[in-house]
């Protein structure tokens, strides 16, 4: 641009030089008609070129540095010019209504979706998505997230209804026959305990104490006392231990009637457990108490850190990004394109937000232009204007010299004729 402006200035100087040189060169030929005509033309062209040079120069600075009145018009009227530019931008070119109407004519959401589709297969886009995913994962603060997750987890557990959970638990226990297995475990462990020598002694002692402390009247009292005197704790243990063991062994047989009765009773109690409201309430209180006392913050922090590391390793694999993140974006774009009502809602939201921004920040346009222009000193501002419109202004000088020459020729010819 600067080169072109210098070239136009060069042409203007050349035209002025030609007119001045021609005027001087025609002095020896004033006696001839052609000499007089040419001298008149060059004289008028010189006057026209000088006048236009003065006019063009007077717009930007004082000609020849002389403080001639009504020159250096732009520096003197800088404030008025800036106000006029700002007023023209705000009220004529970039009014709120014109900007808002232009925004309405733009289908921003459709263009954004189209642009995104065009970039989906670009390696640079994949790299950008990969960097963004890794950055977002790294920005996750485990220590800040864990208390939030703990709070949400506790609120969820407090809201869990104990009845469905208990019902599913009971059904699963019965399905897996864990009641029968639990009974077998108790019977086996009881059998082991009964076979111990120490257990036999304890049974005998307990039975002897029971006999001695039994209260009765008449013949029964005499019979119990006689039996108690005849037998000691050791004998009672030897008698009762095999008895209990036999019963325990029989209860372990699948077809034993007593075993079946016990399991039926267990089944009945388990199936009707949800009808026991006091038990349900107690279990609910027990659950809430455990949840309140539970403090999994440290465990959640470790879990989040481990999860972050795992996802960072996954995100560093470009193929993983393509298979999951890029594919997900594609699917979302396709679903969005097919859902016209959703696209219209998004477009409406974008249009509304942009209109609100224009309404709110429209005055900032003029303010921004004003601030940027006020940063420029007079010389810089003049140079900018000259660089943008100076080419046409310089051609005014060239045209002035040429037009002046032609008019001078015509006037001189007219004078000679008249």
Ramachandran class of 356: left when φ > 0, alpha when ψ lies in -120 to 50, beta otherwise: alpha
Three-state DSSP class for 165?
Answer: helix
In terms of Cα–Cα distance, which of 48, 280, 263 is closest to 164?
A: 280
Angle made by CA atoms 196, 200, 201, in degrees to the nearest 5: 120
Residues 267 and 405: their CA atoms lie apart, in Å, by 123
Instruction: Give, for all 418 residues of the chain, the pLDDT tens digit.
Output: 444 445 556 666 777 677 777 777 777 777 777 777 777 777 777 677 667 666 666 666 666 666 766 566 566 666 777 777 677 666 666 677 777 788 788 888 888 888 888 888 888 999 999 999 999 999 989 999 999 999 999 999 888 888 888 888 888 888 888 888 898 899 999 989 988 888 888 888 887 777 666 665 555 555 655 666 667 778 878 888 888 889 888 888 888 898 899 988 888 888 777 677 787 888 888 888 999 998 989 999 999 999 999 999 999 998 999 999 999 998 988 888 888 888 888 888 888 888 888 878 777 777 777 777 666 666 666 666 666 555 566 666 566 667 766 776 777 777 777 6
pTM higher than 0.85 for the full model?
no
């Amino acid at each position: 641009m600067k080169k072109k402006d210098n070239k136009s200035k060069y042409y203007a100087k050349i035209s002025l030089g030609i007119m001045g040189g021609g005027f001087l060169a025609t002095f020896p030929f004033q006696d001839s008609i052609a000499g007089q005509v040419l001298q008149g033309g060059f004289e008028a062209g010189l006057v026209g070129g000088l006048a236009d040079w003065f006019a063009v120069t007077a717009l930007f600075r004082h000609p020849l540095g002389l403080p001639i009145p009504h020159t250096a018009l732009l520096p003197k009227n800088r404030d008025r010019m800036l106000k006029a530019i700002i007023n023209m931008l705000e009220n004529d070119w970039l009014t709120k209504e014109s900007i808002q109407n232009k925004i309405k004519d733009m289908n921003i959401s459709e263009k954004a979706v189209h642009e995104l589709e065009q970039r989906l297969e670009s390696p640079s886009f994949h790299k950008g998505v990969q960097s963004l995913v890794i950055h977002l994962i790294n920005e996750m603060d485990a220590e800040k997230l864990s208390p939030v997750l703990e709070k949400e987890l506790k609120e969820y557990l407090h809201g869990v209804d104990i009845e469905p959970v208990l019902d599913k638990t009971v059904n699963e226990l019965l399905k897996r026959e864990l009641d029968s297995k639990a009974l077998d475990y108790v019977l086996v462990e009881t059998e082991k305990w009964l076979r111990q020598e120490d257990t036999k002694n304890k049974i005998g002692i307990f039975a002897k104490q029971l006999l001695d402390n039994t209260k009765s009247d008449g013949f029964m009292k005499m019979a119990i006392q006689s039996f108690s005197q005849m037998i000691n704790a050791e004998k009672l243990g030897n008698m009762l231990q095999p008895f209990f063991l036999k019963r325990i062994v029989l209860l372990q047989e699948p077809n034993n009637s007593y075993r079946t009765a016990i399991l039926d009773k267990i089944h009945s109690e388990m199936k009707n457990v949800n009808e026991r409201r006091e038990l349900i309430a107690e279990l609910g209180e027990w659950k809430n108490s455990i949840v309140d006392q539970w403090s999994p913050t440290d465990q959640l922090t470790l879990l989040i850190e481990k999860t972050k590391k795992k996802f960072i390793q996954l995100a560093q694999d470009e193929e993983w990004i393509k298979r999951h993140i890029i594919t997900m974006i594609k699917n979302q774009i396709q679903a969005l394109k097919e859902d016209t009502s959703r696209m219209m809602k998004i477009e409406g939201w974008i249009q509304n937000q942009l209109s609100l921004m224009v309404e709110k920040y429209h005055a900032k346009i003029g303010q921004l232009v004003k601030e940027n222009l006020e940063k420029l000193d007079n010389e810089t501002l003049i140079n900018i204007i000259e660089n943008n419109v100076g080419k046409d202004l310089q051609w005014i000088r060239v045209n002035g010299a040429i037009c002046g020459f032609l008019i001078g020729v015509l006037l001189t010819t007219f004078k000679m004729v008249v």
